[in-house]
Every structure is written in C-alpha cells, then in structure tokens.
Structure 1
Amino acid sequence: MHSIKPLLQPPPDEQILLAQAQNLAGYSLGELAAIAGLPVPPDLKRDKGWIGILLELWLGASAGSKPEQDFAALGIELKTIPIDSLGRPLETTFVCVAPLTGNTGVVWETSHVRHKLRRVLWIPVEGERQIPLADRRVGSPLLWEPSPEEEQQLRLDWEELMDLIVLGQVERITARHGEVLQLRPKAANSKALTEAIGADGSRILTLPRGFYLKKNFTAALLARHFHV
C-alpha cells in the first residue's frame, strides 16, 4: 500500500478532505493507529470515542467537542459509523446534546441539529464484535447533505421532540418517539443531572439528553449511496 500520513492541520478544501478520506479506505484501524503513533485500546468499552479521535487525527479535524462542525471552515461534520458485513449500521448516530431549557422561540432553521447535519462526511468502519478492534477496516467515505425529503423528516421529528421538551414532557419521551430522529439520555453516569422543565412548568433535574439518528435513517442513506 502507498504510504499515507495524517493531515496535521485542517484541510483547506473539501477535495483534499475527500481525497484523504478515500486514501484511508481499506486500511485497518491498527495500521492507521501505528502510523499516527496512537495506542489501540483492547476494546471500546472505556474508549467509546477512540475511532472518532483516530480518524479526526488523520483528517485534520479541528472542533473536538466544541459546538461547531468538525471542519468548521468547510461547514462539514465528521461521523464515523460502525457497520456489519452487509454494510448496515450497527448503532444509532449521536448528533448533539439537546437543550432542555431556554427553548422559547427556537426554530428548526437555526437549530443545532440542522447545523450539525447540514453536510456530513460519513466514514463507515467495520464494527462487528468478533473482529478485533485493530483489525477492523475503514470503508469508503460519503459526503452527504440531506435531500429536501430527508430534511423534512428530520425537521418534523425535531419539532415534535422540542415541543415535548418545552411542554415539560421530557421524562415521557422514549426512544420510540420520532421516525428518524430520537432523543435519549446521554450521560456518563446517573449522577450527571441537568435542569429541564417539569410538567407543571417548574425546574426539575433530569439526565442530559442527546439527539440521535435512528438506524433506519442511516441504513437507507448508506444503502442508497453504496447500492447495498
């Protein structure tokens, strides 16, 4: 294989970003980690974000955990997605943390979810448990932006979920709400509580929530582009 090296700074344009992402396809995570000098954890139990960190390093992503997109200058978000042998996603995809207070007057057009999903560089990675982490291979990248239909689906779900949050129903929301976007707890442990609005309008403490793309949405997106 030809020698490749990590981009040490954010790519100046999307052609360079895409070319670098295409260069990674076919490499194993172990190979990429060795070249980048990053130790491979035994598994992802304690290092859930490790694959994302490795690929951010290779692609010159800058945002880290800041609210802007990973490639802010290009307006592109990076999402790694674990897939099975048939190219189907193995889990939901985290989009961003959901605001549980101060939501008066929020609209889809200026929402964080829309900002994060405006343009996404998807990088599929083998995710089946029986494949050791270091041996899992990186797939071909896909630069995606929502079609009008996809945006409408996302918008309707977002509006429904935000209405429930604003009306003090956050505790009633389950992962079954939403066709393509869901809201569920996102916290390292059950002690990490945040403020939300309760049913009677007063402040309550609850687990932080995150917006996630459901697997049916990402599966359709990957299948359409990769003709799975």
Structure 2
Amino acid sequence: MFTSPASLSELTTRSQALAGLSLGQIATQLSIPVPENLKKDKGWVGQLLEQVLGATAGSKAEPDFPHLAVELKTLPIDQCGKPLESTYVCVAPLTGVAGLQWHESWVCRKLQHVLWVPILAERHIPLAERMIGTPFLWQPSAIQQQALQQDWEELMEKITLGGIADIKGAQGKLLQLRPKAANSKAMTNAIGANGEPIRTLPRGFYLKASFTASLLKQQFNLL
C-alpha cells in the first residue's frame, strides 16, 4: 500500500505518472496477481488503482481520498477515447428518503471532486495489457451540477412516490438509475405504488456514458 498523497498536486503528479503503464505493470509493482478476467473480480481494477495511488477510504461511506475530498473513478474507453459503459456512482437509497436534499446526498458528495482514470479496456485486450490514459481531476460546473441535481431529484421523487418499477435507464440526462445486484436473489426493501413495503432489486446511480464522453472531450479537446 502506497502512502496517501498529502495534496491535490501530489495526487495529480502520482496519477499522471501512471499514464502509459499497463495494468499488468502496475500489478507487478504491487506484487498483486492479475485475474484472468473481471467476471469474478469486478472491482479489481479500481482496487489496484486505489492501492497504487494511496486511497484510504476502502468501503467506508466517504470519498476515496477523504482528506482531499476526492473520489477515484476508472473510465474504460475504446481506441477512439469513447467510454465503453456508464459509470457506477453509488447505491440508491430506496426507503426513508422523504425530505432528503441533493446537497446531503451521497451522489452529490461523491461527484464534488473526481479523479478520472481513463483505461483503454476494449474486450479483446487481455486484462494485464490494458493501458492507463492520462488521469485528470474534475469538478462539476454550475450547469453540470444543476443538471445532476435535476436528474437526482426527479429519480428520487419517483422512488418516494412508489414508482421504482417505472424507472427506466433512459430517464435522466446525465444520471440514471439501474439495478445493481450480484444476482436476482439479492433483494432489498422499497416502497410500492400504493405506499406499501415491497421487495425489489437494489438500484445504483450511474453517470451516463454520453456524459463521461463529454468530460473527456472537454478535457482533451477531442473532436
């Protein structure tokens, strides 16, 4: 485990030193075996980067670098720099949510300051050979913050009013709500259409790939 970076500039320097390295090279530095694929080790890439960058939060409900208030997010991309999937943010609360405000939400807190680490991760590239792009720090602009808040409020209103079953992935401009479970047996409590308690799949908040694509365009002046 590397020591935690003392400042934002140290975190930036340390993360950018990874650009051009393969996941296999980083794993070798840390004496960590590389799994054959991510089917059983879904969080392996994130955990590898947390270790090499000195993130300390682990599974606690706080940003990955708590003293810097920075969240770490990996961003799998293709050869053209296009995100391959939406980005998981956090689990969505499905009960006891009446009166919850955007600025108190876990989504808002996680997205206040993010270290994005793009990774060339097309499926045909073996895991060990997947390469780190140039990491960058991002904070939402006032317009982005407003759009995220609007999406969150609309989705949370549906959850509060018992409309969880009606929420589709297409809803939301930047943020979407999707099932988040290892399997279909992992059920959780929620509110039904008539206010009754129901069991449903856990849901997670995700940033849409179209939004993370716009962040990459903005950062790297991509056409």
2: distance between equivalents of 1:85 and 1:8?
A: 30
User: RMSD of the TM alignment (CA)?
Assistant: 0.8
Q: Give secondary structure in 1 for the equivalent of 2:17.
A: helix
Query: C-alpha displacement at 1:21, in angstroms?
Result: 0.2
1: distance between equivalents of 2:93 and 2:68?
A: 25
Q: Give secondary structure in 1 for the equivalent of 2:133.
A: coil
| Aligned twin of 1:161 | 155
Q: Which runs of 4+ in 1 moved over 4 A?
A: none
2: distance between equivalents of 1:44 and 1:192?
A: 20
| Aligned twin of 2:35 | 41
TM-score by length of 2: 0.98
| Aligned twin of 1:130 | 124
Q: 1:56 is matched by which residue type in structure 2?
A: E
2: distance between equivalents of 1:8 and 1:128?
A: 28
Q: Give secondary structure in 2 for the equivalent of 1:183.
A: strand
The total of aligned residue pairs comes to 222
| Aligned twin of 1:24 | 18
Question: What fraction of aligned residue pairs are identical, expressed as a percent?
Answer: 56
| Aligned twin of 1:147 | 141
The reply to whether residue 223 of structure 1 matches residue 223 of structure 2 is no
| Aligned twin of 2:208 | 214
TM-score by length of 1: 0.96
| Aligned twin of 2:65 | 71
2: distance between equivalents of 1:45 and 1:223?
A: 30
Query: Which digits, 9 at most, give the CA deviation of each residue in 1:145-202, with x for residues without a partner?
Result: 0001111110110000000000000011110111110001001111111100111101
Q: Give secondary structure in 1 for the equivalent of 2:132.
A: coil
Q: Which structure 1 residue ranges, 5 or more long, are not aligned?
A: 1-6
2: distance between equivalents of 1:149 and 1:113?
A: 16
Q: Give secondary structure in 2 for the equivalent of 1:24.
A: coil
| Aligned twin of 1:185 | 179
Q: Give secondary structure in 2 for the equivalent of 1:47.
A: coil
Query: C-alpha displacement at 1:66, in angstroms?
Result: 1.5
Pairing partner for 2:109 from 111, 115, 128: 115
| Aligned twin of 1:197 | 191
Query: C-alpha displacement at 1:109, in angstroms?
Result: 1.4
